[in-house]
Amino acid sequence: MKYTTLPTTDIKVSKICLGTMTFGEQNTEKEAHEQLNYALSKGINFIDTAEMYSVPGRKETQGSTERFIGSWLKNQKRDDLVVATKVAGPNPGLSYIRDNMGFSEAAIRDAVDKSLQRLQTDYIDLYQLHWPERSANIFGIRNFKSNPNEAWQDNFKTVLNTLNTLVKEGKISHFGLSNETAWGTMKYLEMAKNENLMRPITIQNAYSLLNRTYEISLAEVSVREDIGLLAYSPLAFGVLSGKYLNGKPANSRLTLFPPMRRYESEESHRATKLYADLAKKHNLNLTQMSLAFINQREFVTSTIIGATTMTQLKENMDSIEVVLNDDILQEIDALQNLQPNPAP
């Protein structure tokens, strides 16, 4: 395994982070523990989850992922692991999570305490805001439209003060953003600087061969402001494994959960075929080429992988040994130019 540090800290994390959103929906507790044990045995020390998981979000399974991790975590050397979780932003479809959804001080405190209980731990290493409270171009939205009647009010200072207090109390060690924009990221960073507060150290956004929108503005922010990307959906919901090129496998996510259509466009299918051909040309596995591309980006702190089977997990983890040369990287860029970001 290869390692780096969380930006502005001395916390060592594996370049591959174990994503867990299938725990409780597609994976049983036993299967979750098998994945966690294998990942740990191969050097992964970084685990990511969220209070809303498993996915897709349902009242019946909400919190199951953290509970599965917690029943495993209590038997581990806690200080050897870096555990990240997230507080959900407002969403009418997820009102069952808490009575006070959003990022008020009461809401964040409630969410942290419940996550600590489910995870069976005294502290969370990295606590992330899962998505912004305000209207923003996230989850595939391309065209920003302001809403003059939007209920959200600028509360960046309140959020930062709450998170800083939780750090002082020892409930969280650091905090980060997720599904955030360049404007939101810089707003948090500037506010933290001006108010002499701890700042966010990571951004967890989607990034893959089918979605390189992070490079448009946020990559520069990551490099110049030292705030690292935790890349989620690096295989675009499994599309970049190539398994959908000849139809939908029976138990795949896009078959089981039809609303998850972010990566199902004709453009995504066409681009995936081109990347598959490129991988074959260089005697590479499409999955591992796709992940290796993410692993090598200078602004990426860690690549979040997810799997429903041990075979998938092993294949994903083995990507850390794959290094793409300059010729392959140039060919990847050429394909990106032919079909830019088909699955933002």
- As annotated, the active-site residues are 53
- The total of other beta-carbon atoms located within 10 Å of residue 156's CB is 16
Phi, psi of 184 (to 5 degrees): -65, -40
- The total of other beta-carbon atoms located within 10 Å of residue 289's CB is 22
Q: What is the dihedral of CA 243, 249, 252, 257, to 10 degrees?
A: 120
**Placement of tokens 């060690």 in the chain:** 173
DSSP 145: -
Burial status of residue 309 (CB atoms within 10 A of its CB: 0-12, 13-18, 19 or more)? middle
184, 192 contact by CB (below 8 A): no
- The span from the CA of 252 to the CA of 167, in Å, is 39
- The span from the CA of 40 to the CA of 119, in Å, is 17
- The span from the CA of 336 to the CA of 138, in Å, is 21
**Placement of tokens 């705030």 in the chain:** 227
Cα-trace Rg, the chain: 19
DSSP, collapsed to helix, strand or coil, labels residue 315 as: helix
17, 40 contact by CB (below 8 A): no
